[in-house]
Amino acid sequence: EDGGIFLPQTIPRVSADTLAAWSALSYPDLCKEILPLFIDKSEISKEEVCGIIDKSFTEFETAEVVTVKTLKDGVNVGELFHGPTGAFKDIALSILGRCLDLVLSRRQRGVNILVGTSGDTGGAAIHSVRGSPWANIIVLYPDGMVSEVQRLQMTTVTEKNVSVFAVEGTSDDLDVPIRDVFARRSWSRSMTYAALTVLMWVV
């Protein structure tokens, strides 16, 4: 009700034996074990979650999704850039967009998604819902302060549910109007707005 971030009411407990078994799983298979622990089965079943994960990760350059490279002295580095926009945020948002579409289609309810980005979130968020019949996405980015690749990823999308605007100022400045929308709770609820990032999903 206060426009803040949704948090789980409880954190699932996982045994040491389960964690040990999970250590041998691929990243997609690990997602299939963890995500259903946080998603209400009445909203999306485990089978549906697994199907969404499979479909989401088909767009990645590698079936591993997250690859780990070993450097000198035993240092391991995770590569998080194999998604469709090259941003690590593809990993979460590719799944979240499909989950959102499924839930909205069942509720027969649309949503307007507001995104403020300093570059990579915008492209990943757009890709996650582009073409959706249930979600419109409005992205603000600081004019002249994103890379040319990031700008083109956002501004060359032709789907009708995507709107992108360059904003004067910094990425902190463009967060102000988005916060104002959610501060007006009765208005934001009546217009069905949501904020979507890799770390939070506010409806």
Stretch 130-134: mean pLDDT, rounded?
95
Tens digit of each residue's pLDDT (9 = 90 or more) over 42-93: 999 999 999 999 999 999 999 999 999 999 888 999 999 999 999 999 999 9
Q: How many CB atoms lie within 10 A of CB 202?
A: 15
Q: List residues with catalytic annotation.
A: 89
Distance CA 126, CA 139 (A): 8
Q: Read off the pLDDT band of 197 (50, 70, 90).
A: low
Which residue, 97, 112, 115, is CA-closest to 164? Answer: 115
Distance CA 171, CA 9 (A): 31
What does the CA dihedral 161, 164, 165, 166 come to, rounded to 10 degrees?
Answer: 180
The amino acid occupying position 187 is W
Tens digit of each residue's pLDDT (9 = 90 or more) over 87-115: 999 999 999 999 999 999 999 989 999 99
Stretch 18-31: mean pLDDT, rounded?
95
Between residues 200 and 47, the one the model is more confident about: 47
Rounded to 10 deg, the angle between the 120-129 and 148-155 helix axes is: 20
Distance CA 57, CA 114 (A): 24
Kindly tell me if the per-residue pLDDT of 147 is higher than 50.
yes
Tens digit of each residue's pLDDT (9 = 90 or more) over 151-178: 999 999 999 999 999 999 988 888 888 8
The pTM of the full predicted model, rounded to 2 decimals, is 0.86
Both structure tokens of 195: 């904020």
Q: Read off the pLDDT band of 27 (50, 70, 90).
A: very high
Question: Each residue of 163-191: b (16+ CB within 10 Å) or e?
Answer: ebebbeeebeebbeebeebbeeeeebeee
